[in-house]
Amino acid sequence: MTLEAKEALAQAFESRSPADIRKGISSCRQLLLNEEHGGAMTQLRGITEEDIALARTDHDRESRMARVAILEQFISILRENGDKQLRGFHNDLQDLKGALRVFCRVRPLNGREIKKNDTIAVEIVDPFTVSVSKSETDKQTFSYDAIFAQGTSQADVFAECKGLVMRTVGSEGAVCTYKGYLDVPGCTWTWVRTWTCLA
């Protein structure tokens, strides 16, 4: 069974079929073939990087969007396996799509809320999803392109947006940033920064 799984994985990468790659990686994980699983993840990251580079140079919209559809599947496989480089790939994919990006920043409790023993009703599920408690039994989930926790620094937020800012400086396109908020006190906290965070 182990040899069959390895051969199936090799054939999947040769065909570059997302469905076969997903199945092969899943088999390696189930059979506890950690070395093969790690190698497959490295290989998938390499293929993803190659395809992103090719998509950037592809000027035919239909061809680029077909490549983007495959990239979405590759990135989905990486997400399922908890890949550490996922955010970079996700941002590259959004650039290729020309899509709107929505970030979420969970603000910490302010002094008044701490005195009242309030609790935060937002739970960060993964790097792209938050769960909001409407009541003890009712939770709602929301997906974003990036989520910043309560302890995230302005420098971390800027690092995520730096590519967008640099794009406007390089005249590669228009970028608009908008900040929405659910409560007035959180508005001022979000925009506090020092000049050192821009270095």
Average pLDDT, stretch 29-55?
Answer: 89
The residue out of 97, 116, 132 marking a domain boundary is 97
Q: Cα separation of 50 and 54, whole Å? A: 6
Q: In terms of residue numbers, what domain contains 123?
A: 103-198
Residues 12 and 50 in one domain: yes
Residue pointed to by tokens 């999803």:
129
Average of per-residue pLDDT values in the chain = 79
How high is the pLDDT of residue 98? 67
The residue out of 97, 121, 149 marking a domain boundary is 97
Pairing of strands 146-148, 129-133: unpaired
Query: Which structure tokens are listed for 146?
Result: 């990036």
Query: Which residues fall within 8 angstroms of residue 143, CB to CB, at 6 or more apart?
Result: 128, 129
Domain of 178: which CATH number? 3.40.850.10
Residues 64 and 111 in one domain: no
Taking only the tens place, the pLDDT of each residue in 131-164 is 988 877 888 888 887 888 988 888 888 777 776 6
CB 91, CB 133: distance < 8 Å: no
Whole-model pTM: value is 0.55
Indicate if the pLDDT at residue 49 is higher than 50. yes
Average pLDDT, stretch 39-58?
Answer: 90
How high is the pLDDT of residue 50? 92
Residues 19 and 88 in one domain: yes
Average pLDDT, stretch 76-93?
Answer: 83
Residues 137 and 153 in one domain: yes
Using only the alpha carbons of the chain, give its radius of gyration. 21
Average pLDDT, stretch 3-20?
Answer: 88
Residues 90 and 123 in one domain: no
Indicate if the pLDDT at residue 196 is higher than 70. no
The residue out of 52, 82, 97 marking a domain boundary is 97
Residues 90 and 114 in one domain: no
Number of structural domains (the chain) is: 2
Q: How confident is the model at residue 79 (pLDDT cuts 50, 70, 90)?
A: confident
